[in-house]
Amino acid sequence: MESVKCLIIGSGPAGYTAAIYTSRAALNPVVYAGLVPGGQLTTTSQVENFPGYPDGVAGTVMMDDLRRQAERFGADVRHGEVTAVDLSQRPFRVTVDGTHEIFADSIIVATGAVAKYLGLPSERKYIGMGVSACAVCDGFFYRDRDVAVVGGGDSACEEALYLATLCRKVYLIVRRDILRASKHMQQRVFENGRIEVLFGYQTEEVLGDDGGVTGARVRGPEGVERVLDIEGFFLGIGHTPRTEIFRGQLELDDEGYIVTSGTGSGSTALLGSTETSIAGVFAAGDVADRVYQQAITAAAAGCRAALDCERFLIE
Ligand code: NDP
């Protein structure tokens, strides 16, 4: 059976950055790119907040650049999805696409997270054409326009507040009659003159034409229907970390994110460390980050994971 020193699972900014660093450290990393090579950024149109791209860059182009940079130093980037892991002893046993098995001395988990969507067919139709799950990535395109955000937690409130700095009007569509967000966040939302909170509303259809989103049909208390004239429809109903295959093996938090010693609490917290509950397994990017979830923070975590992994293998 094939044996590798360092196996990287995932090909977003965290996985590729880890691949760049580990290949330059002569760890001969093998990267399994997963079902969506390039990760979440390949579903964003333009990335304008990643340092080093003064004119912005298409998400797909940036991820292709990262892959080529990793390959230039010898990273072996492969198609295929890791479908099972056995972390009970080292070397770890990893199954790819349900059949192919590999032994790995160390693993960097960078499987990311997926944004939750409502699941409406009309919503799916306009993803990338007005429907977005990332206000920081796409809000800029809706300057001085009207938009809506769905959700009542901290993410939705944060998205609404961010969009209110750019957009003319922001509707916050909340399915219950209360916000789940922190009190401080709620207060900021209520005090913002550009945000209108629609309590007790559910989205029934995202409306649009060939140019993208033109509105949303929502239903409120007592069955009242409203059509919102909006050009951007943002989801802020949370993310799901991609940790199914690690459940029962790595320590996860109550929402399924991987716990690293850098995100732990108390005296064991090691600032920024990517170590997981199993020695030799490291986690980087959105799979271990429920707060920041940016390409640049994921890339930084990928760098840290590579350095942690290198140190582990030397020791
Ligand atoms: P949450 O799970 O806290 O909130 C999700 C929100 O989306 C809830 O209001 C929920 O409604 C709503 N929702 C879920 N599904 C649907 C649906 N199908 N239709 C309509 N509404 C829906 O997720 P967040 O991403 O907001 O936050 C996750 C964690 O990250 C939290 O712990 C949060 O505190 C933290 N966070 C912290 C931030 C900060 O401190 N700056 C910023 C962002 C996140 P309902 O309430 O009815 O269930």
| Alpha-carbon 283 to chain mean position | 14
Q: What is the CA radius of gyration of the chain?
A: 21
Mean pLDDT of 199-207: 98
Per cent of the chain over pLDDT 70 is: 97
The residue with greater pLDDT, 79 or 270, is 79
Cβ of 241 less than 6 Å from ligand 1: no
Mean pLDDT of 289-298: 91
Q: Please report the atom of ligand 1 found closest to the CA of residue 118.
A: 18
Please name the amino acid found at residue 243.
T
Cα-to-centroid distance, 131 and ligand 1 (Å)? 18
The conformation of residue 275, written as its DSSP 8-state character, comes to: B
Q: What's the pTM? A: 0.78
Mean pLDDT of 256-277: 79
Task: Name the residue ranges covered by the structural domains of the chain.
Answer: 2-114+239-314, 117-235
Cα–Cα distance measured from residue 67 to residue 74, given in angstroms and rounded to the nearest whole number: 11
Cα–Cα distance measured from residue 149 to residue 236, given in angstroms and rounded to the nearest whole number: 7
Domains 2-114+239-314 and 117-235 belong to one CATH topology: yes
224-256, pLDDT tens digit by residue? 999 999 999 999 998 899 999 999 999 999 999
Cα-to-centroid distance, 155 and ligand 1 (Å)? 6
Per-residue pLDDT, 251: 97
Cβ of 152 less than 6 Å from ligand 1: yes
Q: Enumerate the β-bridge partners of residue 283.
A: 109
Asked whether 233 and 117 are in contact (CB, 8 A), the reply is no
Asked whether 207 and 215 are in contact (CB, 8 A), the reply is yes
pLDDT at 265 over 90: no
CATH superfamily for 117-235 is: FAD/NAD(P)-binding domain (3.50.50.60)
pLDDT at 113 over 70: yes
The catalytic site residues sit at: 134, 137-138
159-185, pLDDT tens digit by residue? 999 999 999 999 999 999 999 999 999
Q: What is the mean pLDDT of the chain?
A: 94
The closest residue, in CA terms, to atom 36 on ligand 1 is 154
Please name the amino acid found at residue 262.
G
Ligand 1 pocket test, candidate residues 154, 159, 218, 240, most atoms within 8 A of CB = 154
Edge-to-edge strands of the sheet including 212-219?
202-209, 212-219, 225-228
Asked whether 96 and 83 are in contact (CB, 8 A), the reply is yes
Torsion angles phi and psi, residue 161, rounded to 5: -65, -40
Closest to 130 measured CA to CA, from 115, 146, 154: 146
Coil vs helix vs strand at 104 = strand
pLDDT at 111 over 80: yes
Cα–Cα distance measured from residue 287 to residue 252, given in angstroms and rounded to the nearest whole number: 10
pLDDT at 26 over 80: yes
pLDDT at 131 over 80: yes
pLDDT tier at 278 (50, 70, 90 boundaries)? very high
Per cent of the chain over pLDDT 90 is: 85
Per-residue pLDDT, 39: 85
The dihedral of CA 4, 293, 214, 225: what is its sign?
Answer: positive
pLDDT at 268 over 60: no
Closest to 114 measured CA to CA, from 256, 283, 209, 215: 256
Mean pLDDT of 107-121: 95
Cβ of 176 less than 6 Å from ligand 1: yes
Cα-to-centroid distance, 91 and ligand 1 (Å)? 38
pLDDT at 98 over 70: yes
Cα-to-centroid distance, 262 and ligand 1 (Å)? 23
Per-residue pLDDT, 264: 58
Ligand 1 pocket test, candidate residues 175, 177, 294, most atoms within 8 A of CB = 175
Ligand 1 pocket test, candidate residues 117, 120, 155, 187, most atoms within 8 A of CB = 155
List the single range of 87-91, 106-110, 289-293 with lowest mean pLDDT: 289-293
Cβ of 290 less than 6 Å from ligand 1: yes
Q: CATH assignment of 2-114+239-314?
A: 3.50.50.60
48-77, pLDDT tens digit by residue? 789 999 999 998 999 999 999 999 999 999
Q: Enumerate the β-bridge partners of residue 252.
A: 258
Cβ of 149 less than 6 Å from ligand 1: no
Cβ of 203 less than 6 Å from ligand 1: no
The closest residue, in CA terms, to atom 47 on ligand 1 is 176
Exposed/middle/buried for 211, CB within 10 Å: 0-12, 13-18, 19+?
exposed
Q: Please report the atom of ligand 1 found closest to the CA of residue 151.
A: 7
